Amino acid sequence: MKEDLTVFNKLVDQLLKAEKEDPVAPYIEADKLFETLDLNLEEEPMSEEAFGESLRQLVLNTPRTATKMFFNQLFGGRQPKAVLGDLLAVMLNNSMYTYKVAGPQVGVEKAILNQICDMIGYGRKGDGTFAPGGSMSNLMAMLMARDARGEKIRKKGINESMTMYTSKISHYSIPKNAAFIGIGRDQVRYIETDDQGVMLPEALENQIRKDIDDGFVPFMVNATAGTTVLGSFDPIEQLSVVCKKYDIWLHVDGAYCGAVIFSDKYKHLVKGLEKSDSFSVNAHKMLGTPLSCSIIVTRHRQALYDSFSNDASYLYQTDGDDFNLGKISLQCGRRNDALKFWTLWKSEGTIGLRRMVDQEFHLADVAREYVRSHPDYTLYSFDDSISVCFNYKDLPPKELCTMLYENSEIMVGFGSFRGQEFVRLVTINAGNKKEDVINFFKAIESFVEVEIE
């Protein structure tokens, strides 16, 4: 093991150096991948030297997501304390299903979940778990919402046409999960938003009324806290009134920006969250832990047991249900995703997490200010969002983003809203500073000047 850790340290040194010198890795065309790198598996073992070289090539040619030129997805940067926690999780290799096998790691997970339940007002009636990503957190919420309609569903399956509601610009995991949970993709109703991407409560209520009249059974509303493209927030408080009136489960998908709960300045964006039935947040997005670290909590602790517990005498042999986390999780064997978040939170304090969230909003303000004050740019997104959508000199965003990628300049993606395409800059890396955001724009400008004009 020790020798391999030495190899690891050496590779990390080389990677960190490469990230500094070239923040974007060399571009390899997808159909030339297998001729460019030594990836094929052989019958014979390799010499340590040749193996080390293959590994080095692989590491140095992999897209660099921790650098100051990575803005492509809703994660980025590297929080060293969180990386430390994740490396330890790999070394310890516990499985989170029982206290017998995970021991104090159960407490690590519970400490995070209890704290979050308290912070958002669910209190001790709430509980939660870690799911393999935000899509799966949404799946767990949808399963709990479905099962909350009655015991029959879990045992006999669905025999009604159950409908759910989400905004037109919500995450694609919702229709996917609708098929998984057996209600069918056609039973998802896409509710209109206003011109800033915020779900309209009146449109929601009208659709619910219509569905009830038509014999459907509305069971769930999904509100998004940080829509994937615009970073807009649905009005939880108002949606909760509608949900209460029709006895519908309200889930808040905070995968992208649910971490605003840590900020005194921005938690107003999820006002009314305590009235929701479930809430999910990805620590691997705004809080910068390694992938993946997704938390789902519910105000109804029993709902987790109702939907996810099953007896298994070969597994649950000691300790009570409260400590055997497999009773409330989607998986059986489950990796320890809590430790990396715990090491970050423990070392930086809640204040540290608050600073990260506030810094990301600050960087977005810097970016919007830049776009607004430079006439070659057009802004397509709104305040109180860490997605800054824009176009430069009316260049088609898809072509621009692809050229920046293929020339190893910047990793950034594009999106669209109401038929308008644009570049989407996400200020999700709290390690960035004001000048890093300015540099992003300067890099685009000089690239366009040299390569396009």
Ligand X SMILES: *Cc1c(COP(=O)(O)O)cnc(C)c1O
Question: What are the residues binding ligand X (CB under 6 A)?
Answer: 74, 133-135, 171, 173, 224, 226, 228, 253, 255-256, 282, 292, 294
Cα–Cα distances (Å) from 360 to 109, 432, 439, in that order, read 26, 8, 16
Cα of 89 vs its chain's centroid, Å: 20
What is the residue whose two structure tokens read 């070392």?
Answer: 347
CB closer to ligand X, 134 vs 175: 134
Residue 409 CB, nearest approach to ligand X (Å)? 25
CB closer to ligand X, 73 vs 161: 73
Residue 331 CB, nearest approach to ligand X (Å)? 14
Q: Are 164 and 234 in contact (CB under 8 A)?
A: no
Residue 145 CB, nearest approach to ligand X (Å)? 16
The helix or strand, by DSSP H or E, that contains position 363, with its residue range, turns out to be: helix 338-373
Residue 73 CB, nearest approach to ligand X (Å)? 8
Strand order in the sheet with 249-254: 127-131, 294-298, 278-282, 249-254, 217-224, 162-167, 188-191
Number of Cβ within 10 Å of residue 348's Cβ equals 17
Q: What is the DSSP string of 438-452?
A: HHHHHHHHHHIIIII
Residue 364 CB, nearest approach to ligand X (Å)? 15
Residue 255 CB, nearest approach to ligand X (Å)? 4
CB closer to ligand X, 226 vs 272: 226
CB closer to ligand X, 73 vs 408: 73
Q: Which pair of tokens denotes residue 257?
A: 């920006």
CB closer to ligand X, 105 vs 177: 177
Residue 185 CB, nearest approach to ligand X (Å)? 17
CB closer to ligand X, 74 vs 162: 74
CA–CA gap between residue 101 and residue 91 (Å, rounded): 14
* Position closest to ligand X via CB: 134
| Strand positions, DSSP E, 63-153 | 70-71, 127-131
CA–CA gap between residue 132 and residue 119 (Å, rounded): 23
Which DSSP category does 219 fall into? E
CB closer to ligand X, 105 vs 135: 135
CB closer to ligand X, 147 vs 234: 234
CB closer to ligand X, 205 vs 253: 253
CB closer to ligand X, 225 vs 444: 225
Cα–Cα distances (Å) from 74 to 133, 153, 256, 426, in that order, read 12, 35, 7, 7
Number of Cβ within 10 Å of residue 331's Cβ equals 16
CB closer to ligand X, 130 vs 392: 130
The set of residues, in sequence order, having a beta carbon less than 8 Å from that of 451 and lying 6+ positions away, is: 403, 407
CA–CA gap between residue 364 and residue 71 (Å, rounded): 12
Burial class, 435, CB count within 10 angstroms (exposed 0-12 / middle 13-18 / buried 19+): exposed
Residue 401 CB, nearest approach to ligand X (Å)? 18
Residue 251 CB, nearest approach to ligand X (Å)? 11
Residue 171 CB, nearest approach to ligand X (Å)? 3
Task: Please report, as a single letter, which amino acid is at residue 10.
Answer: K
Nearest to 380 by CA among 344, 348, 420, 352: 420
Residue 18 CB, nearest approach to ligand X (Å)? 26
Nearest to 189 by CA among 212, 171, 207, 216: 207
Residue 263 CB, nearest approach to ligand X (Å)? 18
CB closer to ligand X, 153 vs 363: 363
The helix or strand, by DSSP H or E, that contains position 421, with its residue range, turns out to be: strand 420-426
* Coil/strand/helix, residue 2: helix
